Structure formats: structure tokens, C-alpha cells
Amino acid sequence: MDLPQAIPILSDTDEILDIIVTFFTAGKTKNVAPLSVIQLDDPRFSSYSDVPPFDLKDFATTTALEQLRFVSISDYDFELKNTRVDLFETFAVATFTVKQSGMIVDNYSFRGQHLTMDSRATFVFIKFPKWKIVHIHLTKISD
């Protein structure tokens, strides 16, 4: 008789790192649906981006711009470095650097522009009841 496979239980840190990977994987797979699931749909959500517009954004604006950004870059790839997760009782702060690359295609002229960008990132999480992103801050590292 086959015993059912045990479902691995992720630590809080592993779960948070998995959410970060899920966030950037949306750019590779073009499946942007998880973006609205892993981020807290709440008036307290906020974000700053490493690409214009640079103003503080709410949940709806953030997810719309993330979806637009990820679907408009072909051959998208990313690499996370120097990841650190600091856990508190019901919130966590994750810091890391991310290298993103791909091709931005202008559908009107059929020309592309190669993109490579290094950014510093801070993601703030809240346990609600599962971990969700409540704030994102991405800053491009100068060339």
C-alpha cells in the first residue's frame, strides 16, 4: 500500500522567499494572476517602483502597472542576490538585490530595446492569515 506523500511545511522565511520568487516569476511566465493574490488588497498597501511613475502607489495602481510591466518584456529573467528576511511577530521585512533583464518590444515599430537593470528591494510582509506583501520599495542602482 502506498502511503500519501507528506506535504512539506515551509518555514516562514521559506514561505516569504517563495512569495518573492513568485512575484518575479510572473515576468517569466506572463501569468500575472498570482500578483493580486500575494499582495494585500487593502488601503494600507503601498509601493514605490524602480521605473516611472515614481510616486507612491496603492494596490490597484501597483498591480496594474506590474502586470503591464511583466507582459511587455519578452525573454524576461531575474536573479535575486543578498536575500535577507527579518521576522517579527506578524510582519517581516525582506531585503535583497534583483537583476532583471529582457527585451522591451515596441509593437508599433517592431523594434526592441534590451533591458538590464539592477535594483535594491525592500518588501514588507504581514501575516494575514498567510504572508502577504503590504509594501514594496524598488530602487534602481545607478549604472
Q: CB-based burial of residue 13 (10 Å sphere; 0-12 exposed, 13-18 middle, 19+ buried)?
A: middle
Instruction: Give the pLDDT mean for 50-77.
Output: 95
Percent of the chain with pLDDT over 70: 90
The C-alpha atoms of residue 73 and residue 88 are separated, in whole angstroms, by 35
- Side-chain-side CA neighbours of 17 within 13 Å: the count stands at 15
**pLDDT computed for residue 112 by the predictor:** 75
Closest among 63, 73, 29 to 133, alpha carbons compared: 63
Q: How many CB atoms lie within 10 A of CB 25?
A: 15
**pLDDT computed for residue 108 by the predictor:** 63
User: How far from 116 is each of 77, 99, 101, CA to CA, in Å?
Assistant: 9, 7, 4
Mean predicted lDDT score pLDDT of the chain: 92
**pLDDT computed for residue 110 by the predictor:** 61
**pLDDT computed for residue 37 by the predictor:** 96
| Range 44-80 burial, b when 16+ CB lie within 10 A, else e | ebbbbbbeeeeeebebeebbebbbebbebbeebebee
pLDDT digits (tens, 9 = 90+) for 68-125: 999 889 999 999 999 999 999 999 999 999 999 999 876 665 667 888 999 999 999 9
Domains and their CATH numbers in the chain: 12-140 (3.10.450.50)
Instruction: Give the pLDDT mean for 26-36.
Output: 96
The C-alpha atoms of residue 51 and residue 26 are separated, in whole angstroms, by 17
**pLDDT computed for residue 27 by the predictor:** 95
